[in-house]
Amino acid sequence: MYNLLKGKRGIITGALDQNSIAWKVAEKAHEEGAEFVLTNAPIAMRMGEINALAEKTGSKIIPADATSIEDLTNLYTQSQEILGGKIDFVLHSIGMSVNIRKKIPYTESNYDYFMKGIDVSALSFHKMLAVAKKLDAISEGGSVVALTYMAAQRTYPFYTDMADIKAMLESIARSFGYHYGLEKKVRINTVSQSPTKTTAGTGVKGFGDFFDFADSVAPLGNADAESCADYCITLFSDLTRMVTMQNLFHDGGYSSTGVSDDVMKRLGIEPES
Ligand code: NAI
């Protein structure tokens, strides 16, 4: 441990169960000396698993639907009271597409579901930032990270409407990052993560096959949730204090690889000597 977050106060969204990326971020943030509040949608709380994480990390839980300005206002207000000051870091780890859940093909997307996906998975990020800015709840130099996927840049047919939604999420990081950076030096970045075996990840049709494909393309293999958490911790720390408005790939080299020897072999193509 490096005490990278010693004395820092945070808010961590999205820890549903032990597989959640946010769960690992909470464990690592605790190890690195941070104090934080855990939050999730009230409906996710009913599963109750988050209580174990709260106990382990000495954290309080504040339920909040990330699409509700009222809930978010309460979240920041209460978090500052509980933690005793402004917030230094925020993790947005929220994603949900009804079109994906219902296995609806992209070209036949249901627009009510599409709007719901946008609200939960992208606009919620804008709302979290706007409420924080209005309340002046994030300290100068604070760091906000949201999780995204490379389907925002390249087409992955199975990712359907979430591809467009993630593109919006990444754009919000840039746009809000400018304004919040100028005013309060608050940093806003997205981490573009490898396919990861979580509830949200495995809900995507064909995820298992694609997980293996991505693993065989990336020279380092797929990045797991734990290494993603490590990366997020560096972004919350002061060591990355000049990094903002970036979409940062955390994918074992996948996004820069055209084709790998392994994939060629699987296709039965022998490299020429
Ligand atoms: P997860 O299913 O463990 O986490 C998703 C979380 O979103 C859950 O805790 C859920 O309760 C929360 N959520 C849904 N609706 C909400 C609402 N209205 N208000 C507040 N919270 C709400 O899955 P995972 O994979 O840890 O997802 C975290 C983030 O990582 C998501 O943004 C996802 O798109 C992203 N990501 C995941 C990848 C994967 O392959 N698992 C790859 C790249 C990015």
**pLDDT tens digits, one per residue of 16-30:** 999 999 999 999 999
- Interval between CA 94 and ligand 1 midpoint (Å): 4
User: Active-site residue 159, yes or no?
Assistant: yes
The answer to whether 12 is a known ligand-binding residue is no
Q: CA 132, CA 258: separation in Å to the nearest integer?
A: 40
Of all residues in the chain, the percent with pLDDT exceeding 90 is 91
Q: Is 76 a catalytic residue?
A: no
What does the DSSP 8-state code read for residue 195? P
- Ligand 1: atom nearest CA of 17 is 3
Domains contained in the chain, CATH given: 9-267 (3.40.50.720)
Q: Residue 105 burial by CB count (10 A; 0-12/13-18/19+): exposed, middle or buried?
A: exposed
Q: Which pLDDT does position 271 carry in this prediction?
A: 67
Is-contact 236 191, C-beta < 8 A?
Answer: no
The string of pLDDT tens digits covering residues 129-153 is 999 999 999 999 999 999 999 999 9
Instruction: Output phi, psi for 212, to 5 deg.
Output: -65, -40
Residues near ligand 1 (Cβ within 6 A): 13-14, 16, 20-22, 40-41, 44, 65-67, 93-96, 120, 147-149, 193, 195-196, 198-201
Residue nearest to ligand 1 atom 28, measured at CA: 93
The catalytic position among 76, 113, 156, 159 is 159
DSSP readout, 122-135?
Answer: IIHHHHHHHHHHHH
How confident is residue 105, by pLDDT bands cut at 50, 70 and 90? very high
- DSSP lists the bridge partners of residue 160 as none
Strands 187-193 and 138-148 come out as parallel
Q: CA angle, 16 as apex, 248 and 150 as ends, to 5°?
A: 25
Provide the pLDDT for residue 20: 97
Question: Which residue reads 């994906």 in tokens?
Answer: 100
Sheet containing 138-148: which strands, arranged edge to edge?
Answer: 60-61, 35-39, 9-13, 87-92, 138-148, 187-193, 247-250
Choice among 2, 111, 113, 149 that is catalytic? 149
**Residue 65 tokens, joined:** 């639907």
